Amino acid sequence: MSTDTEVATGDPAATAGAPGAAVTTSGLSKRYRGGQLAVDGIDMVVPAGSVYGFLGPNGSGKTTTIRMLVGLIHPTSGSLELLGTAMPGGAVRVLPRVGSLIEGPAFYPQLSGQANLARVDAADRTADPATARARIGSALERVGLLHAAGKRYRAYSLGMKQRLAIAASLLRPRELVILDEPTNGLDPQGTREVRGLIRSIAAGGVTVLVSSHLLAEVEQICTDVGVMRTGQLVFQGTLEALRARGARRIRIRTALAGKAAEVLGTLGLADVKEAAGEVSAQLGERAPEEVCRELVLADIPVAGLDTPRPSLEDLFVELTGEGFDVGG
C-alpha cells in the first residue's frame, strides 16, 4: 500500500496513450468462463473533454466494457488506459479521479442517502474526512436530493436512487465520469433531469462517458459516439461523422412515378423505391440538379424534389441490427 501513498498529489494528467484521450483501449476483449465472448477486441478512444455516448442494444457488451474500465472485470486480452494510466494496474492511482455509476444504483437500503454517500466516501483512501460532510452536502445538492438526505434509501423512488448514484460519482472533483445507463427505468421527466445533470458535469470540463441503449436519450448531449454490436465497436467518431455516414437519397414527387423510376434506374441510382406519387433512390455520386434535368428532359413533371438524410435513429438501427439479432 505504500506505493499508493503518492498518487493523487503526484503526476500531472498528461496522457500517455493517445494524446488528449481520457480513455483508450486496444484490442480489449473479455471472454467469460462460460465461453461467451462478451467484448471482442475493441479499440476505443474517448477524447478528453468530450461527452462520449456509448451506444448499443442490451447485451452488446457495453456494461462488460465499462466494468473493465473501472477494474471490476479483468480483460481476457488487450489493454486499456484511463487518463493515461494503464488499468487495472494503476487502479489505485487513477480511479479516485474517475467517478462512476455502474449498471444501476446499489446502496444499503437501511441507511439514509447521506449515510450511503458517507460509506462510499469512507472507502476512498484519498478523500479528506474533514471535508466529507461538505462534499456530501454539495453532491446531494447538485443532484437535487438535499431535501431527502436523511431519508432511508429503501424509501427512495427509482429516479432518486439513480440520482444518488450520480451524486456518489460527484463526491470529489473528477476528470472523468462514467455513467452506465443513467436513465434506465426513468420516466421522461427523470430522463430530462439526468440529461441536464450530464450537461452541467460536462460544462465543468469533465469528460463524460455515458452508455445507453437508446440513442434518442443521449444524442442531444453527445459530442462523440461509439456504437457496440455483439461485442464489437462498429462505429466510433463524432456525432457529425455518424450523420455524414448516412447515404443521401433523392426523393421526387411526381404524378408519373413509374416513369420517373425508370429514369432513375437508367441513371444508375441504387435502391429505387416507388410509391404513390413519389419515387426515391440513393443519390450516390450524382448531383440532384443533374437528376432533375434528366427527369425534365424525359417529360416527367417534377412537383417536388428533396435530398433527405436518414435520421440518426435509422443509422443507429442499421449499425446495431433490428430487433432480436443482438447475438449471445
- Which residues contact another protein by CB under 8 A? 1-2, 4-5, 8-9, 12-15, 20, 22, 32, 48-49, 67, 70-74, 83, 91-92, 95-98, 100, 102-104, 106-111, 118-120, 122-131, 165, 168, 172-175, 204-207
CA distance 258 to 313: 30
CA distance 131 to 126: 12
Report the amino acid identity of residue 52. Y
Residue closer to another protein by CB (options 9, 189) is 9
* Least separation in angstroms between CB 135 and another protein: 8
CA distance 35 to 59: 15
* Least separation in angstroms between CB 237 and another protein: 20
Report the amino acid identity of residue 224. D
For residues 109 and 154, the answer to whether their CB atoms sit within 8 Å is yes
Residue closer to another protein by CB (options 110, 266) is 110
H or E, element range at 11: none
Residue closer to another protein by CB (options 49, 288) is 49
How many Cα neighbours within 13 Å face the side chain of 201?
A: 35
CA distance 209 to 211: 7
Residue closer to another protein by CB (options 112, 320) is 112
* Least separation in angstroms between CB 217 and another protein: 22
- What is the DSSP code (8-state) at residue 112? B
Alpha helix stretches (DSSP H) within 83-171 = 91-94, 113-123, 132-142, 158-169
* Least separation in angstroms between CB 118 and another protein: 7
* Least separation in angstroms between CB 101 and another protein: 9
Residue closer to another protein by CB (options 92, 256) is 92
